[in-house]
Structure 1
């Protein structure tokens, strides 16, 4: 593949880009259905609680109590105000997450590359696109190498189409090979290119079709279904009791209108209409809180699953380590030079050629941390020598593949007639390219193990030359000479060991997956505190195993080395067969199947491709393992607080319902009227959505085992606790009522004292349920 030279492109100046952004607006489509004030009011009007409230108000008007009727109907405005506030708060949290989850774009501005939010791309920007990118805007291809794009989103055709730079002529439409047009929302599956943005936002092909991508919507979760069933069941009970109370009151007292009021009061007291509101607020604000610990929620159900995760499968590089590669060791001609120890010593001559060809095997302007480390080492030690070739022309690149874990660059010097080839890659792959004898290959393997045992990532370097005009199709057709080995150090993140210790305390197993050698993986495993580091399963070993063997192996080993991305899916599926709830990290195009299959797919936000991000449930904005652990902690806190809120709702409804039902059954005067129940409801809603949602985590939140994913939010123990609390409050309220009656207080005074008791008890229940461990 011919390398793409971007040195000739400068792009817009930052000032011009800012001016166009201000003039033309953001590169985004309408954000979809967003309820306005009228929509919110319509939703409130359809709520059973609202209908009961209006019915009660009308009855007061009929019996001539205008003041009570007006008070009840005025509560309608209060309820609408609270609903608008909650809706807006939830929508603002979701909007913030939408902004985070929009595609990113790599652009050239003022001659420099910068990665920006896709919504900030402007017309005239030069975008750099490569494998795994979701194209941020409509554009025309100016230069490209082997660029293939999946346009199925627009055409329905699953076969990628080839893109080729050309004149901006003809109809601009998706589909078909060798056109220069690129379209917003389509996916680059191969190659790379430079494209000039021609349309943004609603002016793109995607905008004309009217389909918005990358939006975080209100998704139905398991908890939504569970709470809906609970509300339906309780509503049915409330309906039956409503009818019973009206009939009994009417027959025994002959007052059907007051009987209807008593029935409405009981129905309002029983109906737990807070459940769906509280759930929506908790999950939306929970997603917002996760973003504050550098974790973006793409799919809301992941918040529920976080607290149930039993296994975290994580990449070593960049997640457990800092991904700041430095050249630590050079091995050539039987000698080893420790770069990290002998920093002040100049590089000995035997290592010059090794470093020279290692640099020639890199991209000119690399993103890969290893290649950046090699270029930096070359600038430090070879600057001013004949070993740096800034004037050579890069002719062809042979990319790394699963079949051959090595890549080669073909160069042409200004004066030389032969091509110069530089190769680097996995030591066994380079040994294969060099056709080393078994003895020599074994000797190289011994050196590799020594370097790997120090926790270093090891690559080999080789050189070749080629005198024919037509270059071959594959690397194996060159005659390579083995030059030596290079070991890279990548420091472990300072907080990785503590985070893994916290996982173990929380009953969560950590599995490290890496493409490095087993010895390197063991070294890093010891440094970060993995429990089991001696048993390592390698990718080649997995290839020789059947499904049963793999399922058994993943239950024992905590380290998987020399693994290719496709094998992550095998690991995930095997762990799930063992009954584990799996969280998996990934960043590449080939990681997408594993991310999709995992119970919680976690994409890397810094170095991850758009494909990986789209396949994931969560996106790790800082690529840090400690942030995953923080997300688990936050997920457990959200679930705990939601459980407390639901228990509180049940417990507080028991005394309200009981004190509404008792007078009808026992022939007492009505204690609670609809206005009292509505007032109490106005306390319950804000208390649940604010007090419990903002409550800090329990002290033991990361000291207990993961919860069973099949566990109900309101399990038997929680329900019994809530009912016991409610019955206790009911007993106190009835005792206060009877005491007031026995002291000869009139009905109004008795009602007031009882109501105040319920309010105080309500607040006491809030305090009681804020923590179940303190």
Structure 2
């Protein structure tokens, strides 16, 4: 796939020159002196006919293939393992087995929920994996190689050591090697060096993977492929240490760690207290009541819903051409307060466009355009001439007799036309005398970020590649980098959100600053720095990175150091880029964003890939991240409040020598209608609130006191009902003991204390849900109303009463509702007093 901003020229390739092994000139800065891998043949005696099928098969068998491990998603087994083999699944699974042993199948309902939760997680992640893998496959690059004497196009990953690779304009070099054939081949090595000037490549010159062909064509045998190739070495170095930090996941993991220790302590306490309180009713009753408390301590759906929220956000973003390679990156961008941009490929498309033709004398403008159009009508046109040709059609009756192609060393091109003058276009600093006043005008245009070339003519004929004499300077050709049409609006959006912009580029700082101003950034001269005056120590860069907006002439290592300096200053930094020279900086940033048509090494280390290269997708990613953060916070509050309530109930039962107030089926009902089902919808609903730091602190400040309130409500309601309703204490063992065969006690009065506690808990828990669902929207009102209706049916329908063992005479119902209402009032007070709760409310 051709890289960004370059039009593929499908011209004839040059003839293959005899293979030689000249001494190689030094490669780009930081590149290895010899790209051949250790143990490779000292010289690849590549035939002009390329490898045979048998030779390819031998190299594949030896593993000498251009494959690296850059998988964008987990394996199916890893997905199953992550969703099934968790500490809480193990705890719930053990409790489920104990419940089955007692014969009280109805109280094992939480086990079904456990299985369903795991299946949902597996299916959701697998479907997301398939979609992400298909997208990655569709964006895989291809390479032209000569095999069995024929030129074929194959996936880049199938290139083998020794393959004769053909390069054309627009290609990305897939492996390392040495040029054996060149037809004006020029390669842009800015991916490696940060310098934008193309380098001419003659026979014997080295080429390195990750670079881009900008002119001409050529061939070379692959001397280093796969992990041994230079670009892949950079990608591997970066990928090894890549870890996307997620505040949500870190906070949830911290919660789970604490809850694990609480369960370890609560388990023996619960067994002891229930043996003491109802041991005379049999071991089955002890296990059932003990399990009821422990099930309430397990946040079985929290991890699942967090993962599902990330996954569905990632799938949603793929519809907008954003490939999420690490799920926490969806959240990460919402926390970013500094975005570092590379100019080329991010603010600009990478193409240059013809902007204007400025006459320098009385020559007619129309004639000048004809001459320029004829000059650009070149079958071997480089990027500059292609930009001119796109704007100015070739005139009729201009017959080209001779020409000199553009060369980076000459910095000019020329064409001689039958019956007309010879026309030359090139760099002003080459064609103009040192004291020519035209230089001043060229300088003025250059400070605006434009590229300026000089158009001249002469009546002398061309003689080889020698610059003709007698040149008369006719006009200035003004070109400019094509600014992305979405860049200005996107930067304005980030500015409105309080996100600082830093532009870090390998290009001239004056040019970069001019581009920055064109996209709406307010950049003063004091905010522009030539990075060649700076060092590479992040500690030394901490001060200057705060007060500087534009960095030019930045080396790849300096890009990395600038990102590190920002992070050392406490910023959450995102880095965008498209070149290999951006890879390490992307890796060290909190969030790396690569352009989909950039270098493979860059895409390999990035957490986000903009498949169509549109910078304007970033606000959508930001919005998804905000939605995930805000909604998971709501969900976490629900689960933690339930855990705290269960802990209070366990401790209270131990202190007062009481049976645990609930059967496991009661907590399953409460969890389903006030937490599980609502949490699923709340986790996936819209939420536009800005990121507010302190996820875990904010959750604990509300959920802990709200959970304590719910626990005290349960204790109060249970004690009141036990004192005034149900079966007298002296008859409970005889009337309410669980029979050996597991049959439910026939006397509904045995159910009344637990029924009262469940009613009061539902009232309080529903108000916690109402508080966390604010601000209200019609769909939220419908959600809460539906859940209340389901809960009411469990008490009203005979089948529900029998299954859940509910019995609520009107006086008991009124008493329980009153206690629950008191709990709801206290929850409202907690919400109003909790720091930041209302300010952090989403939409």
TM-score normalised to the size of structure 1? 0.68
CA contact (8 A) 1:90 1:284 kept: yes
Q: Residue in 2 aligned with 1:769?
A: 772
1:382 aligns with 2:395: yes
2:256 pairs with 1:231: yes
Residue 162 (structure 2) pairs with residue 162 (structure 1): no
Residue 269 of structure 1: how far off its partner (Å) = 1.5
1:714 pairs with one of 672, 696, 709: 696
Alignment of 1:160-309 (within 5 A): 160-162=176-178, 187=209, 189=211, 224=249, 226-251=251-276, 254-255=279-280, 257=283, 258-309=285-336
**1:666 matches 2:665:** no
Q: 1:508 Cα shift?
A: 0.7
Q: Give me the whole-angstrom Cα distance separating, in 1, the residues matched to 2:376 and 2:555.
A: 23
Query: Would the aligned equivalents of 1:245 and 1:263 in 2 still touch at CA under 8 Å?
Result: yes
Aligned length: 647
Alpha-carbon offset, residue 88 of structure 1 = 0.7
Kept in 2: contact 1:459–1:486 (CA 8 A): yes
Q: 1:535 to 1:632 in 2, by over 3 A?
A: farther
Indicate the residue corresponding to 2:433 in structure 1. 436
Q: Return the match for 1:330 from 351, 357, 372.
A: 357
User: How far 1:91 sits from its partner (Å)?
Assistant: 1.9
Q: CA deviation at 1:577?
A: 5.0
Q: For the Cα contact (< 8 Å) 2:722–2:753, is it kept in 1?
A: yes
Q: 1:448: how far off? A: 4.0
Is the Cα contact below 8 Å between 1:538 and 1:560 reproduced in 2?
yes
Deviations 1:453-480 (A, max 9, x none): 4x745445679999888x79xx9x9999
Query: Taking structure 1 as reference, are residues 236 and 563 closer, same or farther at Cα in structure 2, changes over 3 Å only?
Result: closer
Q: Distance in 2 between matches of 1:313 and 1:335?
A: 47
Name the counterpart of 1:178: none
Whole-angstrom distance in 2 between the partners of 1:304 and 1:59: 39
Please name the residue that 2:631 is paired with. 641
2:799 aligns with none
- Pairwise mapping of residues 538-687 of structure 1 onto structure 2 (< 5 A)? 539=530, 542-546=531-535, 551-560=542-551, 568-569=559-560, 571-606=562-597, 608-682=598-672, 686-687=676-677
The answer on 1:747 being equivalent to 2:750 is yes
TM-score by length of 2: 0.63
C-alpha change, 1:724 and 1:371, in structure 2 (3 Å) is farther
Shift of 1:525: 4.4
Cα shift readout 1:728-765 (whole Å, capped 9, x = no counterpart): 33344445445544652533133234324434544443
Alignment of 1:106-185 (within 5 A): 126-127=152-153, 135=157, 140-141=163-164, 143-144=166-167, 160-162=176-178
Q: CA RMSD in A?
A: 5.3
The offset of 1:195, in angstroms, is 9.6
Once residues 308 and 373 of structure 1 are traced to their aligned partners in structure 2, the CA distance between those partners, rounded to angstroms, is 40
Task: Note the 1:10-25 alignment, pairs <5 A.
Answer: none
SS of the residue 1:583 aligns to: strand
1:348 equivalent in structure 2:
366
Counterparts of 2:439 and 2:773, CA distance in 1 = 62
**Structure 2 residue 124 is matched with structure 1 residue 89:** yes
Residue 726 (structure 1) shift: 1.9
Q: Secondary structure at the match of 1:663?
A: helix
Q: 2:140 aligns with which of 104, 108, 111?
A: 104
Change (3 A) 1:612 1:284: same
Secondary structure at the counterpart of residue 141 of structure 2: strand
Change (3 A) 1:611 1:735: same
- State the SS of the aligned residue for 2:684: coil
Distance 1:729 1:95, change over 3 A: same
Q: Which residue of 1 aligns with 2:199?
A: none
Give 3-state SS (helix, strand or coil) of 2:476's partner.
strand
Q: Please give the per-residue CA displacement for 1:133-174, whole angstroms capped at 9, x wherever unaligned.
A: x546669536448999776xxxxxxxx333758xxxxxxxxx
Given that 1:358 and 1:422 are in contact with CA atoms closer than 8 Å, whether structure 2 keeps it comes out as no
> How much has 1:676 moved relative to structure 2?
2.8
Structure 1 CA distance for aligned equivalents of residues 271 and 654 of structure 2: 9
Change (3 A) 1:333 1:720: same
Q: Deviations over 1:338-366 (max 9, x none)?
A: xxxxxxxxx43345545555665xx7476
**1:545 positional shift:** 3.9
2:807 maps to which residue?
none
Q: Matches of 1:301 and 1:610 in 2, distance apart?
A: 21
Q: What is the CA-CA distance between 1:687 and the residue it aligns to?
A: 3.7
* Cα separation, partners in 2 of 1:637 and 1:423, compared to 1, 3 Å: farther
User: Of the two, which has the highest radius of gyration?
Assistant: 2
Deviation at residue 503 of structure 1 after TM alignment: 1.6
Contact 1:79-1:682 within 8 A present in 2 as well: no
1:39-82: CA deviations, max 9, x gaps?
95996476545554554654664xxx63x2x2345653443233
By how many angstroms is 1:237 displaced?
Answer: 1.7
